[in-house]
Amino acid sequence: MVNIMLAAGTSVVEDIFSEIANIASQFVTFLASLFTSVAGLIWVSGTGLTTLGTLLLIALATGLVMWAFYFIRSLVRIRRG
């Protein structure tokens, strides 16, 4: 036998949605905290980019340039037949 304890004057559906809302709220709080922590590794207010932030920016730029070269090369290859 399952014993379900309900808050006074609520239904099971209300309790389930209340728990789902609570879990979603905690998850959003976790994501905000995670973003703040990661942003602190990359950017420091007042001084700007950290060493890690600079390296990540260089890596991102290199990746975008390589992707652009590949994309243009594939367009030329399609055009040639």
Q: What is the pLDDT of residue 77?
A: 84
Q: What is the pLDDT of residue 15?
A: 83
Q: What is the pLDDT of residue 65?
A: 98
Burial of 34 (0-12, 13-18, 19+ CB in 10 A): exposed
Bridge partners, residue 49, by sequence = 43
Band of pLDDT at residue 9, cut at 50, 70 and 90: low
Mean pLDDT of the chain: 87
Q: What is the pLDDT of residue 81?
A: 59
pTM (2 decimals)? 0.56
DSSP 41: H
Tokens found for residue 64: 């975008």
- Helix, strand, or coil (residue 8): coil
